[in-house]
Amino acid sequence: MKGKEKVGYVMKEFKDGKLKSSSGKKVTDRNQAMAIAMSEAGINKKMFSGGRLGDGRAVQGQTRGRNT
């Protein structure tokens, strides 16, 4: 199963109310469900298309923090 397919599968589990966290509790937060889906699929948040990052291409060479 490819990464995006895995994300779709896990998000469907979330919609159906069957997705559980590692502690065994039902996941009710969509953001946590998305984090679980990307973790299981092995996808980096910056590389996932369809999110807030625009076209889904990996962002390289950009760091946040102080400039010295």
In a domain, 32, yes or no: yes
Band the pLDDT of 24: cuts 50, 70, 90: very high
Band the pLDDT of 43: cuts 50, 70, 90: confident
Residue 10 belongs to what domain range?
A: 3-46
> Exposure of 15 by Cβ count < 10 A (0-12 exposed, 13-18 middle, 19+ buried)?
exposed
In a domain, 16, yes or no: yes
**pLDDT for the residue 67:** 57
In a domain, 10, yes or no: yes
Band the pLDDT of 53: cuts 50, 70, 90: very low
Neighbours of 68 (CB within 10 A): 3
The string of pLDDT tens digits covering residues 7-19 is 889 999 999 999 9
In a domain, 20, yes or no: yes
Domain total for the chain? 1
pTM, to two decimals: 0.61
Name the region of 2 (left: φ>0; alpha: ψ -120 to 50; beta: rest).
beta
